[in-house]
Amino acid sequence: MSNSPLFPLRPALTALLLAALAPATVAQSMDALEAKLFDHPSLNAMRYGSDASRERAQAAMGLPDPVVSVGINNFPIFDPSFDTFLPTNKAVGIRQQIPNRSGRAAKSNEALQRAVENDAATDMQFAQLQAALQVALIEKRRIEAQQVLAEARDAKYAELVGIVETEIDAGRPVVFRLAEIDVERAEVARTLVELDGQMRQVDAQLIDLVGSVPVTEAPMLVAKDWAGDAQAFHLVRVADKAIDVADAGVDRAQADYKPNWGAQLTYQQRDQGSGALGSNFAGDDWVSGTVTFTVPLWAEKRQAPALRAAKADREAARARHLAAARTASAQYSTYNATRRAAEESIAVLEQKIDAIADQVAAQLTTYESGIGDYSPIIDGEIAVIALRAKIALEQSRRDSAIARMNALLVTS
């Protein structure tokens, strides 16, 4: 073996390397985490979408760019000049299309309603991310509790091994119990490995949500009451805004029946005739003006189908609104049922713990009187530890259900 002074440092260097590769942990309050969550990229993308829709709403009210034309008219090819042919002129014109104001207003309102719908969807997305953050912290707390309990259970098995070996030395036929303990300790080891994997998954979720692994206590959650109004759900609120978008689409289709206007003005500059034969004319300038408007002559082929489509979209939005109300109500009831079931399971498990504690106390009294052995007492303590691990799981199930249930409801 080498006597190099660096050799004893290898374990320390390995530990430093593993620490560097592990996810960074940061102590933060829940308010600070939610502030970071507010800037999640998915939320920023949705906010940019709302800003874009509002800009489109403003742009929809503008007029198309005017068209400016510059040219010459009636210019002779074989005798090129501006003073030999009366209609020859140099022209400057401007043309402006004016889409009907009702159509522009409807298009603007449709874009604005899309922005409002997207705002509601952004609020719903933030509530879902907030619930995901809470659930991740709840899961982290559950995993940590179960890890501590699993290690305590393994320590009890180690203590039980010593007791069984003492009984074997005393001549009692309990060798089989050592094999059972080995199997049970292997199960505990497997549980610890699974918990470690679950912890890594939760850490990855936290990094996705807030960019780091925070050292933050899971929040104490209280279930929000729902009075039965479907509009209290985020999902229904978004669907309601979608109806407003569809209404604006109908208004836009109806406005398409109205005429679009246009105006054109042309100034024609003419030269005085040269005085030659056929070129004796005054050089007065000319001005031409034109007003145009559209006539819905093909409405049955264009506007009518578009209007029917817009009305069908509106009916579809109303149907989705009803479906959203049912879905949100069912989700709330499901999470609430999960919460209640977890609470009842916790109560049952606590009753079992009390019953086992009474049995352990009775066995301890018997053991202290000189009757029996100590292993049943350890078995009872191990059973209590296993039940407490189940309670930690049910508490996590209860609190996660509350977090997801609260995320369904609009808070402001």
DSSP 4-69: -TTGGGHHHHHHHHHHHHSPPEE---HHHHHHHHHT-HHHHHHHHHHHHHHHHHHHHTSPPPPEEE
Q: Would you put residue 80 in left (φ > 0), alpha (ψ -120 to 50) or beta?
A: beta
pLDDT of residue 22: 47
In this prediction, residue 21 carries a pLDDT of 41
Query: Residue 238: CB partners within 8 Å, gap ≥ 6?
Result: 117, 120, 121, 124, 324
The per-residue DSSP string of 199-243 comes to HHHHHHHHHHHHSSEE--PPP---PPP--S-GGGBHHHHHHHHHH
Q: What is the pLDDT of residue 11?
A: 44
Task: Give CA–CA dist 389/398, Å, rounded.
Answer: 14
pLDDT of residue 24: 52
- Report the C-alpha gap between 276 and 167 in whole angstroms: 141
Half-sphere exposure in the Cβ direction for 350 (13 Å, CA): 9
Write out the two tokens for 74: 């009636």
Q: Which domains does the chain have, with CATH numbers?
A: 22-62+100-258+298-407 (1.20.1600.10), 64-98+260-293 (no CATH)
Indicate the SS3 state at residue 398.
Answer: helix
Q: Which residues pair with 68 in a beta bridge?
A: 94
Q: Pairing mode, if any, of strands 261-269 and 286-293?
A: antiparallel
Check if the beta carbon of residue 254 is closer than 8 Å to that of residue 232.
Answer: no
pLDDT tens digits, one per residue of 173-227: 566 778 888 899 999 999 999 999 999 999 999 999 999 999 889 989 999 999 9
Give, in order, the Cα–Cα distances in Å from 347 to each of 146, 256, 341, 391.
18, 66, 10, 9
Element containing residue 62 per DSSP (H, E): none
Query: Could you report the per-residue pLDDT of 115-148, keeping only the tens digit for each?
Result: 999 999 999 999 999 999 999 999 999 999 999 9
The segments of the chain whose pLDDT lies below 70 read 1-27, 167, 169-175, 273-280, 412
Residues belonging to the chain = 412
| Cα(216)–Cα(203) distance, integer angstroms | 12
Phi, psi (deg, nearest 5) at residue 262: -155, 155
Phi, psi of 286 (to 5 degrees): -115, 150
